[in-house]
């Protein structure tokens, strides 16, 4: 039995709006910033190529770790849904998604469940966190880490979510032999890597790490948020590896984005990690196998200059 899951990071569809009702509070700041930065940096017209490549690999699962939008506007969600529609049609029930902070942009977006209104079909069941058995003994936990403090955005693990995870685990007659967590925010960041390090951005997440350590099974934490692809061995949980899928459509230093994403493949007891990316000049696609780094070690998987672009806040 083999399983292939592809992990795609921050897409950040954007739309510059001129509706004054959209220009209130945080969204005004976000849109001003967007006009200056995002429109130049996120090459959304390349989404079709990315989605086509993902489909061509015929994966078992396609896992999106959030930040589909920039300011959680309906038109941005509609662009994202339209972009992934070929995958949703072809792989029903196998395209899964969690929200990022930009999909929960304002308190109103959280209250009105704007994300769920558009992406509800990409969550098994009706509640967070979700639990899905990808294959015999391999479970995926989907966590909504998105919250808003009104101006800046960060993540927070709710105590009720942690309780749900523990209760789910305790109720399983047969314990998993491996786990994957899908959550926009990482619970730990590699030291000295982030350009604008704002400190830990997934608040109250330590108990989740304690839980994963207690399970003692190989665990993979699939996240985005920091717009730079990497693997990172948890310095505190020996059985945990972080997979940061980065931002596939983000242009770096004027260069065409490489549309990269990650792959997690299992075959029996073996687990293989790989990165996919497009050559910026020839547009040829490559798949490169990568080794999970040991605890505390960081593996840069981003082609081009080593500039780590931190997401968060209104950026």
| Number of residues that make up the chain | 315
Q: In whole angstroms, give the CA distance from residue 17 to residue 23.
A: 8
Indicate whether 189 belongs to the interface with Fe ion (CB under 5 A). no
Site string for Fe ion, 221-260 (x = CB under 5 A): ----x-----------------------------------
For residue 116, the SS3 value is helix
Indicate whether 101 belongs to the interface with Fe ion (CB under 5 A). yes
Query: Shortest approach of Fe ion to residue 270 CB, angstroms?
Result: 32
- Residue with smaller CB distance to Fe ion, 122 or 226: 226
Indicate whether 100 belongs to the interface with Fe ion (CB under 5 A). yes
- Residue with smaller CB distance to Fe ion, 134 or 259: 259
Can you tell me which residue has the tokens 């395209």? 95
Indicate whether 161 belongs to the interface with Fe ion (CB under 5 A). no
Q: In whole angstroms, give the CA distance from residue 103 to residue 182.
A: 15
- Residue with smaller CB distance to Fe ion, 201 or 266: 201
Q: In whole angstroms, give the CA distance from residue 87 to residue 84.
A: 5
Q: Where are the alpha helices (DSSP H) in the chain?
A: 26-33, 39-41, 47-56, 74-90, 107-111, 114-119, 159-171, 206-215
- Residue with smaller CB distance to Fe ion, 64 or 91: 64
Query: Shortest approach of Fe ion to residue 310 CB, angstroms?
Result: 9
- Residue with smaller CB distance to Fe ion, 145 or 293: 145
Site string for Fe ion, 118-137 (x = CB under 5 A): --------------------
Indicate whether 67 belongs to the interface with Fe ion (CB under 5 A). yes
Per CB under 5 A, contacts with Fe ion among 3-22 are 10
Q: Nearest to residue 242, comparing CAs of 309, 190, 199?
A: 190
- In this structure, what token pair is assigned to residue 77? 């969600």
Query: Shortest approach of Fe ion to residue 217 CB, angstroms?
Result: 28
Query: Shortest approach of Fe ion to residue 250 CB, angstroms?
Result: 9
- Residue with smaller CB distance to Fe ion, 14 or 91: 14
Report the residue from 7, 241, 311, 314 that binds Fe ion according to the rule CB under 5 A.
Answer: 311
Indicate whether 109 belongs to the interface with Fe ion (CB under 5 A). no
150: which residues sit within 8 A by CB, 6+ positions away?
A: 25, 26, 106, 107
Query: Shortest approach of Fe ion to residue 13 CB, angstroms?
Result: 11
113: which residues sit within 8 A by CB, 6+ positions away?
A: none
Given strand 240-244, what is the order of strands in its sheet?
130-135, 138-142, 178-182, 219-223, 240-244, 230-233, 298-300
- Residue with smaller CB distance to Fe ion, 76 or 178: 76
- Alpha-carbon distances of 241 from 43, 245, 252, 255, 267, rounded to whole Å: 29, 13, 26, 30, 18
Query: Shortest approach of Fe ion to residue 210 CB, angstroms?
Result: 24
CB atoms within 10 A of CB 164: 18
Q: In whole angstroms, give the CA distance from residue 193 to residue 300.
A: 10
Size of the site for Fe ion (CB under 5 A): 6
- Residue with smaller CB distance to Fe ion, 67 or 144: 67
Binding site for Fe ion (CB under 5 A): 10, 67, 100-101, 225, 311
């Amino acid at each position: 039995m083999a399983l292939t899951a592809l992990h795609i990071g921050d897409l950040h569809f954007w739309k510059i709006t001129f509706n004054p009702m959209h220009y209130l509070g945080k969204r005004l700041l976000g849109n001003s910033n967007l006009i200056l930065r995002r429109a130049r940096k996120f090459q959304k017209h390349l989404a079709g190529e990315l989605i086509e490549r993902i489909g061509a690999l015929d994966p078992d699962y396609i896992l999106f770790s959030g930040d589909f939008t920039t300011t959680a506007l309906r038109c941005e969600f509609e662009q994202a849904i339209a972009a992934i529609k070929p995958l949703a049609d072809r792989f029903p029930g196998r395209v899964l998604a969690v929200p990022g902070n930009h999909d929960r942009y304002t308190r109103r977006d959280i209250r009105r469940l704007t994300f769920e209104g558009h992406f509800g079909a990409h969550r098994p069941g009706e509640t967070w966190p979700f639990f899905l058995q990808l294959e015999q003994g391999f479970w995926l936990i989907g966590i909504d880490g998105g919250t808003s403090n009104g101006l800046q955005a960060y993540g927070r693990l709710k105590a009720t979510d942690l309780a749900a995870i523990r209760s789910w685990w305790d109720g399983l007659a047969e314990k998993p032999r491996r786990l994957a967590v899908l959550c926009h925010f990482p619970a730990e960041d590699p030291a000295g890597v982030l350009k604008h390090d704002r400190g830990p951005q997934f608040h109250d997440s330590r108990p989740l790490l304690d839980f994963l350590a207690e399970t003692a099974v190989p665990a993979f934490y699939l996240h985005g948020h920091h717009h730079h692809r990497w693997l990172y061995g948890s310095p505190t949980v020996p059985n945990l590896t972080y997979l940061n899928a980065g931002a596939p459509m983000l242009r770096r230093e004027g260069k065409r984005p490489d549309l990269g994403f990650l792959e997690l493949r299992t075959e029996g007891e073996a687990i293989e990690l790989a990165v996919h990316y497009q050559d910026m000049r020839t547009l040829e696609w490559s798949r490169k196998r990568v080794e999970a780094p040991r605890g505390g070690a960081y593996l840069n998987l981003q082609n081009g200059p080593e500039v780590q672009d931190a997401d968060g806040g209104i950026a």
